[in-house]
Structure 1
């Protein structure tokens, strides 16, 4: 792969805009690709020829970032691309892959920026579609920024993750060696882990959103169309989050994975520490960040359907009780009138059901049993 790889960013939402603009300002060739049904989201960017970015950036620069292409044409988006980043929520990973898989080239890398078992799900989809392209399938735990679209062709970055804070793995695990050095050059936040168990068992969005939403769910979803989510967090939410965190860490330990506890992660991510996690969140730069209720519900669908369900399956595989994780899954299902077991992903859907702990690890590292 060349010294400065060509990057295609899939998705023109908050994170996609931030990544595309900042990577352009770092000197990379960047194309922004959006699905045809969301073409209105790139209209302003296409008209301007790029994205205006403000706030904190990895490049250390702000201002107008010109993009090489802004398109809904998957062939044009992928041609000669080295790294293809999928920035969409978990439910958008496969629709993006389905849109462009016919145009994949050998030695490209697909990086799913928010894990949720994305690399394994794409691998399974490749098999279903008969796609034989020799590409590296990778995923990271969380986005590098918290960003917000501020106009048709603008984005503002509220914060950036600190260095060595975002785990990256591939499926199968051994293939990360082919791409990690290039990814690390783009974002020094990335650190390599052996397999995607780590990217899915690390602290991240699922550790925050459901636990802190549950105590305020009635207010948020029954009374308001939006809320300042971080400002509304409570000590009750902190207690639920820590109980969930204890279950997550027990599962990780059973698989031989050492992970941060939630308190440490919050302190490192936000750069300071208050007497409780909710107090930290309330005083963060995100406290005035307004979450529409529909967006928060989609976030919960992602965390529960694509993180909690597999977590419950992994817990059963290693004989760990997870009553808090199960309770949140069922309670949010009742609140939203959804059966997450039908709409989310399970170990069965991932091809991991009925495997022993050692078989799961072996399969995720080697791609075979």
Structure 2
């Protein structure tokens, strides 16, 4: 069942809303960041022979919300795309050509947009899985049926045994999903396996590994390295600020505006993502509060946050990889009717934790099942 996803956190914020314009006609589609300045989408999202070929203008938006009045967009500096995915130009793209060593139709309905700015440093990006053959997948995009809100669905899919496409007939695909990612994984560990072409087929990345790998490696030359993108920073009372660590694929949280500013100034692998949520109000009854302890795992280079005295003591005394760093902030011990639960998941592959206050994201992660749900960590105020 499809539901609205969070466009302000990873991985949703790395999915692109694309507007392509030919003359006075504009059409919307989706895409996905797969590198610092690399966006995958469908060829038919940017090229239409009946309208004159490549679009006159392409605008790429991330963390897109249709209710935003003046969203930021990026313009591609270069395009790699196919033009013969619809040979008779009737608008009907067939799934494949039923030949193992050639491509046709949806098999080649894929394009790489190279941006002149490192949008991935701000929003993060998906990995690419070139070896996928079948299994549970998810889809994210901006379908018109759901008012161009970021929408999620999941289900079973498989790569055709002959042709280079992923059969997506078990997923809900609507107009506007074109170019969006079919992907495996969840939370901080997601990888694209296909790009939506039609309601039943997505171009498998497997048949495009050679040119994608080459172009993604070489197209950094299009980025303007003389300037850097400075994130918008707002200081709010009780705010907990979030960063995405591109080295570890995990998130870091801090209540300190000084620590936030120091990390931003360092311009390293920590990408500032804004305010995640708020700590407990200073006016709250002390009996309702719990301290949230922060521990640094030297083995994984990540942080653990817990309100459990027993967990903190056990890790500090019995796990030499964990260094206790003190109280990170205060939270609520229980639901007071106006706060929200913060859910905790464990990634058994990386030995790291993921936290979310989003019910939709919690449901998504439980549906996909690659992270272990550990329950409610504590309660916080929403941002």
Would you say same fold, with TM above 0.5?
Answer: no
Larger Rg: 2
Higher helix share: 1
TM-score by length of 1: 0.28
